[in-house]
Structure 1
């Protein structure tokens, strides 16, 4: 009996010591950001010495777990490549296989970011059948909400196959496919953390609301739903915060539909959310916004969300906007034509963040307005080859001091548009495509549409 007790005691001691644990973001098949200093962290027994080895490293790294039972390695990754093996050894050993070094992007927002080929996207069956890309990897964050920031989440990295692509973000997949085509098969890792129906407030850290009473007041107007929580910062705490130490190249954001019910303050909310994410990661990450499309089931407050997204993208450093209003009819809350959205986003990223010169890849963007007597003169960025889709535009309006807008005749003069209407003797405001269901009719030579905009001073 004494011998059995000794053996049992030894077994328990070994079991208690064999406790290197890694967060779920570190699994087989993962992608680590290339050419970077990346963090690998986890938990172990206090004072446990841990050794990290990897095929792409020229030396071993050692650390000792702290008295809080956590450890952290900061290691260089170097250029793209793989597959590699990473091992962490202490009292036990954890081995990660088929690890790639490449480009890592986070995808977040609501259902149109979450939407996969299995939802019935355009040409979905054909795209699924071709989705064999072993150097594209997916990580899907499950829907989780928490009152407090969490240290871990669930999930695992998967290789892109027809079976895995079918249930992953379609926009994300097409984005990765285009990136890889231009980056010559550099591995791409996509982390999808999205929740259909979620308001932007759900993705914003609590301290933003504490610092801005107006944002907090707007949050209180969110109506509860049986499909998503309305808990302040709930998704951020459970679905973004655990990823803050994981090195990424950038972030793609497609959200705003739920906030159409209360558009006041969305501009400040989105800008504050972006700043808070960057601060938490201590990295001025590229942050790209996909503008929501129109939908006949929404009120015309929708266009105010689109305008807010435009302003934030234009005024935020290291950001950009993808306009989508021209790609589908307005009768579907989940537009099916996802491939052009992913490609437009990839083209922006390739130009801005990878130095590829692929011609004009930006939509025309409102830059400046001059009011001269009864005429309005508009200037635009990215306006090369500016033209009207139907030989004329029916979507411009101007207003005088009375604030009443009237349809205006638009005339192209080079890369400028000049507006006039006899109904307004002295215009002071102008807007374009100011309707939930307006389909753009102004494009540049790349056939990219002009976003809705207004010069009104809206919240």
Structure 2
């Protein structure tokens, strides 16, 4: 009798196991960023996708309408659907079902931004060890806001494109904000306050990551040196965050198609010694992401790397590479790629550390770009003045600027200490520079016949020229000389 009962128990257990397995197989599953507390982009056709029972009908019932949207899962169980979203609001529920419902709770409609890059984007409000974020503790204390939602993609490096990420949405609170990207949070805080709509911030970043790591195989074909380093499928990844294509495949690929307003980007420090390719590389990456997303030329706003003394991380005896060339390469991108903008950080660096504590400044300057260029708020300055041309009169160079309708301002005076001049010998000497209305006049007794001018064109130069709106002028040079020339003190 005991044996019969045991057999019956085993039979029932097997049946229950099989039934559970079939039920599990039938359950709708979606990538992690489709979850409770999420923000979906308002006023658009928002994509949703996932897996369900093979060949089943999948229904989506959003709480903001009485409409039920239907699509068919493929034989592999994969499905995708586009759902119209109205103006900002919430909270709503969204129920997805193939017969077994999955309900997403506390969903808001608003503005969604993807926030990507390396450590200066990843750096949390709590800072790094021995490296604080200025003003973060009080900002974190006051951060509770159910209209700001945060999602951080967990680090993942892969040789093959993956379909999902690890992470979850949370409402802004001191606990969640403390561990969230400082640059992204300060950006989102301004967007939410000025637009008065929910804001969703999706951070996909990895400290020390190269631009090449955030590009797919196709984009990298334009750069043979990088393309040659793409690892084979299931092959070795020499550097988890620098190897070409591995972060695109492991972290970004699952997000492609997620409806959003645009991207903010803070990266470049790892490419400081490859400035010659960065303009083309970042431009190619932006265009490649836009093509894959298929929602047009979405806004792409990025930070210029801040001043830092790269001698600190240069091996003894090796050439100290001037990161001003990388800043120059970054500055070119906004002039050749539509719907982009660069936040200049010449006044927000830290010569002794590559992670400046002033993270509110990049966040707010990215927000100014978005609020002015994307959301159409007038009456504010959003773009830094840019070098236009130089004219030589006798022994003096006269520098002109674009994007400076109210002319140029100094930091605390009408003088700048960051200019250098060179003559035909291409040797640069420190120069006296003073602001005259919309121009800057530059002169050096060592250069009676100047042919070239440079401003703040060293690794750790601190900018001292601004627009009257307080936006710093980027480092620049008038010459296009291909190699580094000596600078005389």
Q: Structure 2-normalised TM-score?
A: 0.86
Q: Determine if contact 1:347/1:358 at 8 Å carries over to the other structure.
A: no
Equivalence for 1:312: 333
* Larger deviation, residues 335-344 vs 406-415: 406-415
Match of 1:165 among 160, 174, 177: 177
Match of 1:141 among 131, 141, 153: 153
Matches within 5 A, 1:233-244: 233-244=245-256
Cα distance in 2 between the residues matched to 1:373 and 1:277:
49
Q: Determine if contact 1:218/1:265 at 8 Å carries over to the other structure.
A: no
Structure 2 CA distance for partners of 1:346 and 1:6, relative to 1, 3 Å: closer
* Larger deviation, residues 319-328 vs 151-160: 319-328
Structure 2 CA distance for partners of 1:403 and 1:248, relative to 1, 3 Å: same
Match of 1:432 among 443, 447, 455: 455
2:209 paired with 1:195: no
Cα distance in 1 between the residues matched to 2:425 and 2:154:
50
Matches within 5 A, 1:76-87: 76-87=84-95
Equivalence for 2:142: 130
Q: Please state how far the C-alpha of 1:370 moved relative to its aligned partner.
A: 4.1
Q: Determine if contact 1:406/1:424 at 8 Å carries over to the other structure.
A: yes
Equivalence for 2:487: none
Structure 2 CA distance for partners of 1:13 and 1:63, relative to 1, 3 Å: same
For residues 272-305 of structure 1, what are the alpha-carbon distances to aligned partners after superposition, in whole Å with 9 as ceiling and x for unaligned?
A: 1111111111231111111111222254522111
Match of 2:422 among 399, 402, 410: 399
For residues 338-382 of structure 1, what are the alpha-carbon distances to aligned partners after superposition, in whole Å with 9 as ceiling and x for unaligned?
A: 112211211121011111124223222123344566553322123
Structure 2 CA distance for partners of 1:218 and 1:235, relative to 1, 3 Å: closer
Structure 2 CA distance for partners of 1:274 and 1:427, relative to 1, 3 Å: farther
Structure 2 CA distance for partners of 1:13 and 1:117, relative to 1, 3 Å: closer
Cα distance in 1 between the residues matched to 2:228 and 2:322:
18
Cα distance in 2 between the residues matched to 1:24 and 1:114:
19
Equivalence for 1:455: 478
Cα distance in 2 between the residues matched to 1:242 and 1:306:
30
SS in 2 for 1:117: coil
Match of 1:342 among 340, 355, 363: 363
Unaligned 5+ runs, structure 2: 1-7, 314-319, 483-489
Q: Determine if contact 2:266/2:302 at 8 Å carries over to the other structure.
A: yes
* Larger deviation, residues 259-268 vs 440-449: 259-268
For residues 320-350 of structure 1, what are the alpha-carbon distances to aligned partners after superposition, in whole Å with 9 as ceiling and x for unaligned?
A: 1112221354222211121122112111210
Cα distance in 2 between the residues matched to 1:451 and 1:131:
32
Matches within 5 A, 1:10-159: 11=19, 14-15=22-23, 17-119=25-127, 120-159=132-171
Match of 2:324 among 303, 314, 325: 303
Q: Please state how far the C-alpha of 1:231 moved relative to its aligned partner.
A: 2.3
2:354 paired with 1:333: yes
Unaligned 5+ runs, structure 1: none
SS in 2 for 1:264: helix
* Larger deviation, residues 288-297 vs 414-423: 414-423
Cα distance in 2 between the residues matched to 1:266 and 1:399:
26
Equivalence for 1:414: 437
Cα distance in 2 between the residues matched to 1:36 and 1:264:
39
Structure 2 CA distance for partners of 1:227 and 1:212, relative to 1, 3 Å: closer
**When the two structures are aligned, how many residues end up with a matched partner?**
455
For residues 29-80 of structure 1, what are the alpha-carbon distances to aligned partners after superposition, in whole Å with 9 as ceiling and x for unaligned?
A: 0000001111000111221011110111341111110123211111110100
Q: Please state how far the C-alpha of 1:209 moved relative to its aligned partner.
A: 2.2
Structure 2 CA distance for partners of 1:122 and 1:418, relative to 1, 3 Å: same
Q: Please state how far the C-alpha of 1:435 moved relative to its aligned partner.
A: 0.9
SS in 2 for 1:259: helix
Cα distance in 1 between the residues matched to 2:403 and 2:458:
23
Structure 2 CA distance for partners of 1:314 and 1:6, relative to 1, 3 Å: closer
Equivalence for 1:293: 306
Q: Please state how far the C-alpha of 1:226 moved relative to its aligned partner.
A: 9.2
Structure ID, larger Rg:
2
Q: Structure 1-normalised TM-score?
A: 0.92
Cα distance in 2 between the residues matched to 1:290 and 1:225:
28
